[in-house]
């Protein structure tokens, strides 16, 4: 079962988020027919999204958009405070292998921007933008420092099996709380420098074991939450979107097509509208005018 843990460590001066999102990635692969490098890139971004979602209240949400100059195109992930995530990449059939494994940075590109848009249920959304390097862990580490002024360390790991199913997909965010003692910072640096392979750490240990391995008894769990791939799209949602096209476009569709197929980018679900349904949409628009 996929899970997220939120904890405090080192005398409650360090905040830790851990996520195992293997099943989330498995669902994304099934829905989008992702090839291995695309799976790795989207899997890592969804892991970050889930951990950032855990920093929000239940009814709050965020969107991550990464637009590099690499062949994968745009990467888009939505997450919320309830442990739900969805996402897609513009070009799912991407696979590059480098000397150290799947070449995420080549797929993403080393020039472009990372945007985080937060919906905190206020009048306006809050948007932060940073330049990217193509290394997701480093880019999000920089994001937290630049946009949130929170010193952080971000770790992300994905391992793909030979049958293009995820063996590992997970991540960790470690953040210093305000007024952290220097000796705590030194201790944390000693702990983190021993992490040589994030993927191996997650492959060989459960989330609880990772906390114990890194922090021992100087750690307390604040929350454990089940997470899942979830998209709230529906045929009604797409009906409302079609209505916004207006009478002329809908009438053109009615006369030209036997049916309309719409597709959700996030979950690749297909919704069909036959001529009778299109006619009802036209009548609904006319009734509003």
Q: Residue 48, SS3?
A: helix
Does position 100 have pLDDT exceeding 70, yes or no?
Answer: no
Kindly state the average pLDDT of the residues 104-115: 95
Say if residue 110 is in the same domain as residue 192.
yes
Let me know whether 143 and 242 are in one domain.
Answer: no
For the whole model, what pTM was predicted? 0.93
* Domain final position from 229, 254, 273: 229
Q: Do residue 20 and residue 148 come from a single domain?
A: yes
Average pLDDT of span 129-137: 96
> Closest by alpha carbon to 23, among 230, 233, 231, 197?
230
Whether residues 197 and 102 fall in one domain:
yes
Q: How many Å apart are CA 289 and CA 282, to the nearest integer?
A: 11
| CATH number, position 94 | 3.55.30.10
pLDDT at 99 over 70: no
Q: Which of 180, 208, 229 is the last residue before a domain boundary?
A: 229
As to burial, measured by CB atoms within 10 angstroms (0-12 exposed, 13-18 middle, 19+ buried), residue 117 is middle
C-alpha span between 30 and 68 (Å, rounded): 24
Place of tokens 């637009």: 67
pLDDT of residue 101: 61
Pair 37, 21: CB distance under 8 Å: no
Average pLDDT value for the chain: 94
Instruction: Answer yes or no: are the C-beta atoms of 182 and 196 closer than 8 Å.
Output: no
Q: Considering only 66-80, 194-208, 247-261, which range has the smallest mean pLDDT? A: 247-261
pLDDT band at 145 (very low <50, low <70, confident <90, very high): very high
| Cβ count within 10 A of residue 182 | 7
Same domain, 202 and 239: no
Task: Give the residue among 63, 67, 151 at the shortest CA–CA distance from 112.
Answer: 67
Q: What is the pLDDT of residues 63-72, one digit of tens each?
A: 999 999 999 9
Window from 30-39, 102-111, 148-157, 165-174 with minimum mean pLDDT: 102-111
Identify the pLDDT of residue 272: 93
User: Above 60 in pLDDT, residue 201?
Assistant: yes
Angstrom distances, CA of residue 233 to CA of 95, 230, 268: 29, 9, 10
**Nearest alpha-carbon partner for 144 in 168, 172, 184, 124:** 172
- Residue 198 contacts residue 155 (beta carbons within 8 Å): yes
Boundary residue ending a domain (186, 209, 229): 229
pLDDT over 70, % of the chain = 98
Same-domain status, 13 and 28: yes
pLDDT of 120 over the 90 cut: yes
Q: Where are the alpha helices (DSSP H) in the chain?
A: 22-32, 36-53, 104-108, 136-147, 182-192, 198-204, 207-215, 235-243, 247-256, 275-288
Q: Are residues 165 and 263 in the same domain?
A: no
**225 and 107 in a common domain:** yes
CATH number of the structural domain spanning residue 260: 3.90.1280.10
Residue 286 has what pLDDT? 87
Same domain membership, residue 225 and residue 239: no
Kindly state whether residues 205 and 136 are assigned to the same domain: yes
Do 129 and 190 share a domain, yes or no? yes
How many separate domains does the chain show? 2
pLDDT recorded at residue 146: 95
The answer for residues whose C-beta is within 8 angstroms of residue 189's C-beta and 6 or more apart is none
Mean pLDDT of 140-163: 95
Q: Where do we find the tokens 């454990």?
A: 224
pLDDT digit string, tens, across residues 229-255:
999 999 999 999 999 999 999 999 888
Which residues are paired to 160 by β-bridges?
Answer: 166
Domain match, 162 and 273 both: no
Range of the domain at 255: 235-288
pLDDT of residue 97: 78
Q: Answer yes or no: are the C-beta atoms of 51 and 143 closer than 8 Å.
A: no
């Amino acid at each position: 079962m996929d899970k997220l843990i939120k904890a405090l460590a080192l005398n409650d001066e360090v905040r830790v988020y851990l996520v195992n999102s293997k099943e989330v990635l498995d669902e994304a692969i099934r829905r989008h027919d992702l090839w291995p490098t695309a799976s790795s890139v989207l899997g890592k971004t969804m892991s970050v999204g889930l951990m950032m979602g855990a920093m929000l209240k239940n009814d709050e949400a965020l969107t991550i958009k990464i637009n590099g100059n690499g062949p994968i195109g745009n990467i888009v992930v939505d997450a919320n405070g309830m442990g739900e995530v969805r996402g897609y990449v513009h070009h799912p059939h991407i696979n590059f292998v480098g000397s150290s494994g799947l070449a995420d940075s080549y797929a993403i590109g080393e020039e472009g921007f990372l945007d985080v848009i937060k919906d905190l249920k206020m009048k306006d959304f809050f948007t932060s933008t940073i330049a990217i390097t193509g290394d997701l862990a480093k880019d999000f580490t920089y994001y937290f420092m630049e946009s949130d002024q929170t010193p952080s360390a971000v770790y992300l790991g994905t391992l793909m099996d030979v049958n293009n199913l995820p063996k590992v997909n997970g991540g960790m965010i470690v953040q210093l709380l305000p007024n952290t003692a220097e000796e705590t910072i030194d201790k944390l640096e000693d702990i983190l420098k021993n992490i040589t392979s994030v993927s191996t750490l997650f492959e060989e240990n459960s989330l609880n074991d990772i906390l114990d391995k890194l922090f021992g008894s100087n750690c307390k769990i604040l929350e454990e939450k089940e997470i899942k791939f979830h998209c709230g799209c529906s045929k009604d949602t797409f009906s409302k979107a079609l209505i916004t096209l207006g009478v002329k476009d809908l009438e053109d569709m009615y006369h030209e097509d036997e049916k309309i197929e719409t597709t959700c980018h996030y979950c690749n679900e297909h919704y069909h509208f036959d001529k009778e349904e299109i006619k009802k949409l036209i009548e609904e628009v006319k009734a509003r005018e």
